[in-house]
Chains A and B, each alone.
Chain A
Amino acid sequence: MNIVVCVKQVPDTWAERTLRPADSCLDRASVDGVINELDEYAIEEGLLQAEAHDGEVTILSMGPQKAAESIRKALSMGADKAVHLVDDGLAGSDALGTSLALSTVLARIGFDLVILGAEATDARMGVLPAMLAERLRVPQLSLARKVEIDGNTVTVHRLTEYGYDQVVASLPAVVSVVEKINEPRYPSFKGIMAAKKKPVETLSLADAGIDPAQVGLGAAATEVLSFAKRPPRQAGTIVKDEGDGGSKAAEFLAAQKFI
């Protein structure tokens, strides 16, 4: 089975993140990049499924040169090979552009199953899995907390506000995962050494056959009009309990429409 895991490098979630005044894009240069946290769960799920079904895991990442470090980490965790889509023309791509680029590469390399995190910690749009599935014309199974593959069918379990869903589709398919699904492994030192010898194919827009006019900041259908720093946290209200603490707390919750 041919499993492709899409991996995005995002700025370290612990670091201060800023937008560049010039183009309103996220400043990625000044902070260290890490694998988007949910994508680590996607990698783990890809590895588990590949181990169970004699499959192979390919990492697909679109991102600047620096993303090579995240690709290497994914390979160190145990993925077999990687494709890195890297081109200055991709900078500033919105979800539409990114999904176009990734789906073009996915169609080119082929897949039985695409796994990715349900959202990225930087943009937090959460639309990429759906867009990829739509562009590839395959089923999308979203927010999986458990994945089962049996022959040509894939079943995912997900928790919703109203209960548990079990969704079944035929392969090939796109599955997005949430952090309940597994516990990502650490890259072992042997894995780190082995990753050095694993193939990483680097593709430019031209190599991948992607029209530069349809991706990048220029082609983005969305635009950041303005942005502002988060206001400093307001001091909380302190209510003194003079025998009526309970009702005051209830009043507060009611005013915030929690109850």
Chain B
Amino acid sequence: MAQRPPATPAESDLLRIDDQLSPDERLVRDTVRAYTAERVMPSIADWFEAGILPRELVPELGKLGLLGMHLTGYGCAGMGPVAYGVACRELEAADSGVRSMVSVQGSLAMYPIWRYGSDAQKEEWLPRMAAGEAVGCFGLTEPDHGSDPASMKTHAEPNGTGWVLSGSKMWITNGTIADIAVVWARTPDGIRGFLVPRGARGFTARAIHKKMSLRASVTAELHFDSVKLPADAMLPGVSGLKGPLSCLTEARFGIIWGVTGAGRSCLEAAIAYSRTREQFGQPIGGFQLTQSKLAWMAADLQRAQLLALHIGRLKEAGTLRPEQVSLAKMANVRTAIDLARQARTILGANGITLEYPVIRHANNLESVLTYEGTEEIHALAVGQALTGISAYR
């Protein structure tokens, strides 16, 4: 409690956009902010440097209700999209790695089970995943198939009453700590989702090292060497690429909000630094060039926040379309990267150390730019919506 941050909206929120939040949404904001101030902020630089995210955070996130918070039943809190967005924002203001953990668990692993799973699959996994007792991961990307998942090689062949799964997946968040992997594979009747438990014979996960981005997050390679699965390992409710794509639309929604948290953290670090750092006999925040940078950063951040809120209200209304998500993911990630970069210049040499959050956010955002659909692929989706011409599929 000692480290409780101000409940007052951030000083960078000149437009008081947070006043648009409902009391519940504000309570979610304050709770996540207080939690990260106490549990994440004191150690995040060390975790980032060591390249770890402590597993014991997961049950804590579960206890707060963050895991699958936008789902209903099975121990999930059943909150609205804006509350989910605000939670992602506050998590990512701490670190994109922590937000990724929560996004993958809730939107990429729990969501497909919740939406497409059988009652037995839901009963078995969702309550434990909501509580953070079981961790999930989402395997879509392959070593040779990233932006074009439709050409994936991983496949499952019918075998007696069950399946045999073969292939590999790459860049899988939570991969080595997951108790359950949601794996998308080609089958004789199209792409289907499979629940592969940790320890299944022939299933191995190996951590990917030497990352310079999203270091406080586990990224892994999954291998399936003729893994025998029972018939009920398959998600019965969906076939085709729309299964994984619908999950990604959920998770991208969290990114649209999340990156505004990372951007805010950078702007606030820059403001604070510019007030106290003196050169040429005065605080650098008193120089017009610095103020111009800060002013544009604030304007860009607030536009991104308005965009996130708008997308949130569209989702609430049930009218949110994938190209709207693409536009906002693309635009807000780019804004956050620009903010991080500009903030870095204001911090001078201190801008490259982990003593300040800026370079950590800047590096993390490079992953966020690429995962859940690269900037280019989202531009193609927006371009298609605008012109009616598909440039890529």
Interface residues of A (CB under 8 A from B): 12, 14-15, 31-32, 34, 37, 40, 68-69, 72-73, 76, 179, 183-184, 186-193, 196
Contacts and interface: CB of A to CB of B under 8 A. Distances in A.
A72 B5 contact: no
20 contacts: A12-B6, A31-B8, A32-B8, A68-B23, A69-B23, A72-B24, A73-B27, A184-B1, A186-B35, A187-B31, A188-B64, A188-B65, A189-B28, A189-B65, A189-B66, A189-B77, A189-B79, A193-B24, A193-B78, A196-B24
Contacts of A68: 23
B34 interface: yes
A191 B5 CA distance: 21
A189 B31 CA distance: 9
Contacts of B8: 12, 14-15, 31-32
Nearest to B75: A190
Contact of B34 (A32, A186, A190): A186
A40 B1 contact: yes
B81 to A, nearest CB: 13
Given A69-B23, A73-B27, A186-B31, A192 B79 contact: yes
A55 B257 CA distance: 40
B76 to A, nearest CB: 8
Contacts of B64: 186, 188-189
B26 interface: yes
B24 A192 contact: yes
Given A186-B31, A187-B31, A193 B5 contact: no
B77 A192 contact: yes
B69 interface: yes
Contact of A192 (B4, B6, B9, B27): B27
Nearest to B24: A192
A34 B110 CA distance: 34
B65 A190 contact: yes
Contacts of A40: 1
Contacts of A192: 24, 27-28, 31, 65, 77, 79
A189 B67 CA distance: 10
Interface in B212-238: none
B310 interface: no
A32 B27 contact: no
Contacts of B31: 186-187, 189, 192
Contacts of B79: 189, 192-193
B109 to A, nearest CB: 18
B7 interface: yes
Given A40-B1, A184-B1, A186-B64, A193 B77 contact: yes
Q: Sort A-B residue pairs by CB-CB distance and give the 7 closest, nearest first.
A: A189-B65, A189-B77, A14-B6, A188-B65, A32-B8, A190-B77, A34-B7
B145 interface: no
Nearest to B67: A189
Nearest to A76: B27
B5 A14 contact: yes
B63 interface: yes
Nearest to B26: A69
Contacts of A186: 31, 34-35, 64
A187 B33 CA distance: 12
Interface in B71-103: 77-79, 83
Nearest to B35: A186
Contacts of B27: 69, 72-73, 76, 187, 192
A183 B1 contact: yes
A94 B268 CA distance: 39
Contacts of B7: 12, 14, 32, 34
A34 B1 CA distance: 13
Interface string B26-56: 1110110011000000000000000000000
A76 B77 CA distance: 12
Contacts of A183: 1
Contacts of A72: 23-24, 27
A73 B64 CA distance: 14
A38 to B, nearest CB: 10
A37 to B, nearest CB: 7
A36 to B, nearest CB: 12
A14 B27 CA distance: 17
Nearest to B80: A193
Contacts of B28: 189, 192
A221 B9 CA distance: 36
A15 B9 CA distance: 11
Contacts of B5: 14
Contacts of A184: 1
A179 B63 CA distance: 23
A187 B34 CA distance: 11
A44 B203 CA distance: 45
A53 B64 CA distance: 24
Contacts of A188: 63-65, 77
Contacts of B24: 72, 192-193, 196
Nearest to A15: B8
Contacts of A14: 5-8
B69 A189 contact: yes
A34 B30 CA distance: 10
Nearest to A16: B8
A193 B79 CA distance: 7
A183 B39 CA distance: 14
A179 B27 CA distance: 22
Contact of A179 (B1, B30, B35): B1
Nearest to B27: A192
Given A15-B6, A189-B65, 11 more contacts: A12-B6, A14-B8, A32-B9, A69-B27, A72-B27, A186-B31, A188-B63, A188-B77, A192-B65, A193-B77, A193-B79
